Structure 1
């Protein structure tokens, strides 16, 4: 019995930065997916790990839906699509008065997985309104504003349960100098993973790599990911990479997707690609 789980992992489209070149890229990716499908590689899951838009604008999301998502959905009719926001999907006003330090100080309830935490996060959830409205996701579209602060999905796939958790690493994103200032909220992630602990496969998707987060939270999340033996998928770094990381004396897998689009051939380029993966479990 074939119990393979196949996924397509895409990230960092930055729609709006170069509409003509991106349209060509959309066509190339869909053409490649069609070729893979014709050869029998049909993804069960599609993960898009943020930075779909370039400035978080409605027009950018409309282009993505019309010119990429809809055509891809027509090819992968049975696949489930899961997305999380990146820092470019946040509506960031030119004059930003967000005081993110107060949300991570001791005693803050901002990242609690309950009604109190949900209420506290209402200070930032409006920044994700366009993302929530326009980006398709098989999970509930309003998970960003939920008490969980993450989405939790459990799927029965060919006789094995797959747990998927989507986290928001862009809660506190403000500018291009976010490194070491971000967190998906340790308690939100901990609570979400606890709800899929009975699954044989556990996948977490976020936008930022762990080393981009607040150092203490990154350390605690590595321990949590190791304890749950997760597979973590992310983007942001604009280069493709697969690696093993350690936490709690255990190892977990990390798959980093490159930028689906960043620049034309004559512009600075820091590495870009997409990942199609097939993981086999005995």
Structure 2
């Protein structure tokens, strides 16, 4: 794969001659690289195509004087060109004329819930009918994003997504809009106010599921985002994308970011044109068959009127990183146990693991908007049998219960969790799968959920137990050989201790597969304490926990996610507790959510 990454042209008639000098030099260098290594597969432009987005016909001029010429130089077609907007692409006068809109957005979009709600409310708007908060980008939408080459699969106010067909696997590109919250005023006043959007990232991941290589493009570095939005999107981008390309700060600075969420190469492009004296530069990212990414950095020399290797930044202007795509690896990789293979499978599986978890907490048939497992999951109390005490005597905060669960996952022991059917064990199982996939376990493991009933007396293999979930989260990339030879976190749901044949078969699997750490959810049809003792006999050498009903603090935290004003939150919480006490239903996440939905939608 060969990618040309350009950014920050700031095209303007005021500097037309000087711009042409620099652009002609860039074209010559790009043509030379094309002749040496072949045509480029993709051309990325990460924002600030023009200097002032409100100028008349400026975007049409950019298409003829810049985009077409650079695509020809790269040997690429229109379907291989992707672009996102930058802060210079907005019409600043639009923002200044309706300052009350900006003031309202600043006051409203302060946390993940409000940002996701705003995105949900505006997701289906076509770019041909731009609502007021996005009017500053009307010219860009009309003249740039309205162009839909064959590779474009989706366009709206927040995102433009592409699938570029390749013989060895497709390239998926998500171009995110961080400019719709820009004012363009001087002094970095926009820093900390911008929004990329967790919900936008979730949609992008789903759109690009089939791609072998996934690339995210946005103009502003993530530390320019609203703090809550940065926290919400950074891990998701790191987990799902192989290459992240941005601009804005006018400095070249590629890096390999390795986190518990996943590894991704960040291509921070230089400014293609600032002035003749500025550091003008661009980047080329190439991957080869040895799982290596080569980033070539170029900078402009005005004395020589040429783009040369950026030796001021790195020796020879070249930096190399290990590269493993998020897509399906070759068949020869699956039998190995390398961390690189596990990392590849995990990266592919994470968004699907999260999607299934979100589906688990959704209220089917209610028309309720999608809910996120991290945002809306409230953890029930988990206590060891010997430590079980009344909920009223325990620090009544949902944060403590969640931290307790994460601490359990960090241990090395196998886990057994016992509880009644109505207490949300399956939701806890999906939450655990999400957290293990994000690196919250004892080591890097692929989390896989199996249903106890899937164990068969004729084929009680580990693969039989886990294959349905494994195939769904990795699109078939996780094989039997991989599961039996790599670190796995196996979650077995709805274990019936009265089914002695399957209990015995499961016990044999636990003894046999030393590469697996187990988390067993046991159904208790009577008192949890007595069933915990029976479970201890059936599955010795596991840490035993009893799952309890949600505490008041957890119910209050869940209730507050449904309502905005403090008065309404207080009032609805009181109504909810009265309903629970009157009806006598178990205080589980699902039951509480269902009553909250009914309260919210009551006429």
Q: Does 2:106 align with 1:101? A: yes
Structure 1: how far apart are the matches of 2:62 and 2:31?
18
Contact 1:222 1:248 in 2 (8 A): no
Contact 1:162 1:201 in 2 (8 A): yes
Q: Does 2:260 align with 1:244? A: no
**As a proportion of its length, which structure holds more helix?**
2
Are the structure 2 counterparts of residues 144 and 91 from structure 1 closer, same or farther at C-alpha, using a change threshold of 3 Å?
farther
Structure 2: how far apart are the matches of 1:141 and 1:224?
21
Structure with the greater relative contact order (CA < 8 A, sep ≥ 6): 1 or 2?
1
Contact 1:144 1:168 in 2 (8 A): no
Structure 2: how far apart are the matches of 1:144 and 1:122?
12
Q: Does 2:37 align with 1:29? A: no
Shift of 1:118: 6.9
Structure 2: how far apart are the matches of 1:81 and 1:198?
19
Q: Does 2:64 align with 1:55? A: no
Are the structure 2 counterparts of residues 137 and 278 from structure 1 closer, same or farther at C-alpha, using a change threshold of 3 Å?
farther
Equivalence map 1:110-121=2 (5 Å): 110-112=118-120, 115=123
Equivalence map 1:123-142=2 (5 Å): 123-135=132-144, 138=149
**Matching residue within 9, 13, 29 for 2:5:** 9
Equivalence map 1:147-158=2 (5 Å): 149-158=158-167
Are the structure 2 counterparts of residues 36 and 115 from structure 1 closer, same or farther at C-alpha, using a change threshold of 3 Å?
closer
Are the structure 2 counterparts of residues 247 and 224 from structure 1 closer, same or farther at C-alpha, using a change threshold of 3 Å?
farther
Are the structure 2 counterparts of residues 107 and 195 from structure 1 closer, same or farther at C-alpha, using a change threshold of 3 Å?
same
Q: Does 2:216 align with 1:204? A: yes
Aligned residue-pair number: 271
CA deviation profile, 1:186-231 (whole Å, cap 9, x unmatched): 2111221122234221100010111111122112222102221431
User: Bigger radius of gyration, 1 or 2?
Assistant: 2
Q: Does 2:182 align with 1:173? A: yes
Structure 2: how far apart are the matches of 1:58 and 1:131?
12
Contact 1:13 1:259 in 2 (8 A): yes
Are the structure 2 counterparts of residues 28 and 125 from structure 1 closer, same or farther at C-alpha, using a change threshold of 3 Å?
same
Shift of 1:72: 2.3
Are the structure 2 counterparts of residues 85 and 200 from structure 1 closer, same or farther at C-alpha, using a change threshold of 3 Å?
same
Shift of 1:261: 0.7
Any stretches of 5+ residues in structure 1 without a counterpart?
A: none
Structure 2: how far apart are the matches of 1:142 and 1:201?
18
Paired position in structure 1 for 2:83: 83
Structure 2: how far apart are the matches of 1:273 and 1:261?
8
Any stretches of 5+ residues in structure 2 without a counterpart?
A: 292-603
Q: TM-score, normalised by structure 1?
A: 0.85
CA deviation profile, 1:11-66 (whole Å, cap 9, x unmatched): 00011152211111121111112211221342111000100111112343233222
Are the structure 2 counterparts of residues 131 and 249 from structure 1 closer, same or farther at C-alpha, using a change threshold of 3 Å?
closer
Paired position in structure 1 for 2:267: 255
What RMSD, in angstroms, separates the aligned Cα atoms of the two structures? 2.7
Paired position in structure 1 for 2:335: none
Are the structure 2 counterparts of residues 153 and 200 from structure 1 closer, same or farther at C-alpha, using a change threshold of 3 Å?
same
Q: TM-score, normalised by structure 2?
A: 0.42
CA deviation profile, 1:235-255 (whole Å, cap 9, x unmatched): 001011111234543222110
Structure 2: how far apart are the matches of 1:110 and 1:193?
19
Contact 1:51 1:89 in 2 (8 A): yes
Are the structure 2 counterparts of residues 140 and 158 from structure 1 closer, same or farther at C-alpha, using a change threshold of 3 Å?
closer
Are the structure 2 counterparts of residues 151 and 118 from structure 1 closer, same or farther at C-alpha, using a change threshold of 3 Å?
same
Shift of 1:81: 0.5
Shift of 1:129: 2.0
CA deviation profile, 1:259-278 (whole Å, cap 9, x unmatched): 0011232xxx3x33101121
Are the structure 2 counterparts of residues 127 and 210 from structure 1 closer, same or farther at C-alpha, using a change threshold of 3 Å?
same
